[in-house]
Amino acid sequence: HVQLVESGGGSVQAGGSLRLSCAASGYTYNRNCMAWFRQAPGKEREGVASIVSAGSTSYIRYADSVKGRFTISKDDAKNTLYLEMNSLKPEDTGVYYCAAGERTYTTLDSHDYGNWGQGTQVTVST
């Protein structure tokens, strides 16, 4: 059973930065997909970034809305997933979720993930 625990959320002003972490425990596949999703009030959950590691190579996919501003990474030795968020905008506000799935390719489809963290709130003010 995989457990995912996010941390690092908070409130920042537009243009600021935050770094989210997701500590994974239980049975995890280093070659399987992990991702960050977010959900704003009244909106559907959307994929932000996904990563799959194959040896020393990482394959990454970003949503168009965060390209150039967000960076996803993972430390397999620590079983930890990260999301570095820079140049934050008010529209980045929402609950951010860490997810782990069994696909061996990057995907931003929430249906491809069977394990979810509890979420961490990110609020960006003007």
Question: Which DSSP category does 112 fall into?
Answer: G
Q: In the structure, what pLDDT confidence band is assigned to residue 76 with cuts at 50, 70 and 90?
A: confident
Tokens of 97: 């979720």
Q: Can you give the pLDDT at residue 29?
A: 67
Tokens of 63: 């949503």
> pLDDT at residue 60 above 80?
yes
Encoded amino acid at 85, one letter = M
> CA–CA separation, 27 vs 57, rounded Å?
21
> How much is the mean pLDDT over the chain?
94
The mean per-residue pLDDT over the stretch 61-84 comes to 95
> CA–CA separation, 45 vs 108, rounded Å?
10
Backbone angles phi, psi at 93, to 5 degrees: -65, 135
What is the CA angle 99-23-55, rounded to 5?
A: 75
Q: In the structure, what pLDDT confidence band is assigned to residue 27 with cuts at 50, 70 and 90?
A: low
